[in-house]
Amino acid sequence: MLHINRNEKRKAAVLNKMRTLPQRLTFLMEAVDTTPGKLSRDLGKERSYISQILKEKIKTPRPEFFEYLQSRYNVNPIWMKTGEGEPFLEGGRQNNIPAASLVNLINHLSPDRRSAAIVVLRALAKADEAEAEKGKKR
């Protein structure tokens, strides 16, 4: 027989009430202690961008929005889009380098150096993936 404790039941009840993107986004901002203005700036968008999502003036954000939330806060993009699954991916909440800051830094490089930086970043990402695969096989 499967036993679910009271905390798990409460958590499931709270998560099930988050049927809309604005509700899930509000939950996320509270969980990571940020504001609509700060999150908009981190995304490299106008200050009102997140507020427009919260007011449902923007109903379907671009894929980059979900990618940013995943890379910055380890948010489960499926949960953010649909409400299905857990809010955070394995490993829980993480605060990584804001993607907008990294993009801004790369954009300030000369075109040749920008291309080189992208090649290096891709190589590092590939090496990390290979290392992670080795760890899974052990």
In this structure, the answer to whether residues 15 and 81 fall within a common structural domain is yes
| Domain hosting residue 118, numbered range | 108-138
Written as six digits, the tokens of 53 are 């999502």
Q: Give the pLDDT mean for 113-118.
A: 91
Separation CA 9–CA 23 (nearest Å)? 19
Residue 76 sits in the same domain as residue 126: no
Q: Is residue 50 left, alpha or beta, with left meaning phi > 0 and alpha meaning psi from -120 to 50?
A: alpha
Residues 34-84: tens digit of each pLDDT = 999 999 998 889 999 999 999 999 999 999 999 889 888 889 999 999 998
The answer to whether residue 51 is domain-embedded is: yes
pTM of the complete model beyond 0.75: no
Is there a single domain that holds both residue 63 and residue 127? no
Neighbours of 127 (CB within 10 A): 10
Residue 123 domain-assigned? yes
